[in-house]
Amino acid sequence: MKSDQLIVALAQIAPIWLNRDATISKIIDYIHQAKEQNVELIAFGEALLPGYPFWIGLTDGARFNASDQKVIHAHYLDQAVQIEAGDLDLICLAAKQNHMAIYLGIVERAENRGGHSLYCSMVYIDNTGNINSVHRKLMPTYEERLTWSAGDGHGLQVHKLAAFTVGGLNCWENWMPLPRAALYGLGEDLHVAIWPGSDRNTHDITRFMAKEGRSYVMSVSGLMRPSDFPKETPSIESVLAGCEDDFLANGGSCLCGPDGEWIIEPQCDHEGLYISVIDHENVRQERQNFGPAGHYSRPDVTKLVVDRRRQTTVEFIDK
Peptide bond into 292 cis (omega under 30): no
**Catalytic member of 26, 108, 120, 137:** 137
Whether the Cβ atoms of residue 50 and residue 21 lie closer than 8 Å to each other: no
**What is the β-pairing status of strands 118-125 and 101-109?**
antiparallel
Q: Which of 129, 140, 183, 137 is nearest to 159 (CA)?
A: 183
Distance separating alpha carbons of residues 221 and 266, to the nearest angstrom: 10
Q: CA–CA separation, 33 vs 37, rounded Å?
A: 7
Q: Residues 92, 171, 254, 256: which is the catalytic one?
A: 171
Q: Known catalytic residue: 96?
A: no
137 labelled catalytic? yes
Catalytic residue among 46, 108, 188, 286: 46
- Residue 167 near residue 158 (C-beta atoms within 8 A): yes
Label residues 185-212 b or e (16+ Cβ within 10 Å = b). Answer: beebbbbbbbbbbbbebbbebbbebbbb
In eight-state DSSP terms, residue 266 is E
How open is the CA angle 295-298-302, to the nearest 5 degrees? 145
Residue count of the chain:
319
Catalytic residue status for 171: yes
The residues annotated with a catalytic role in the active site are: 46, 137, 171
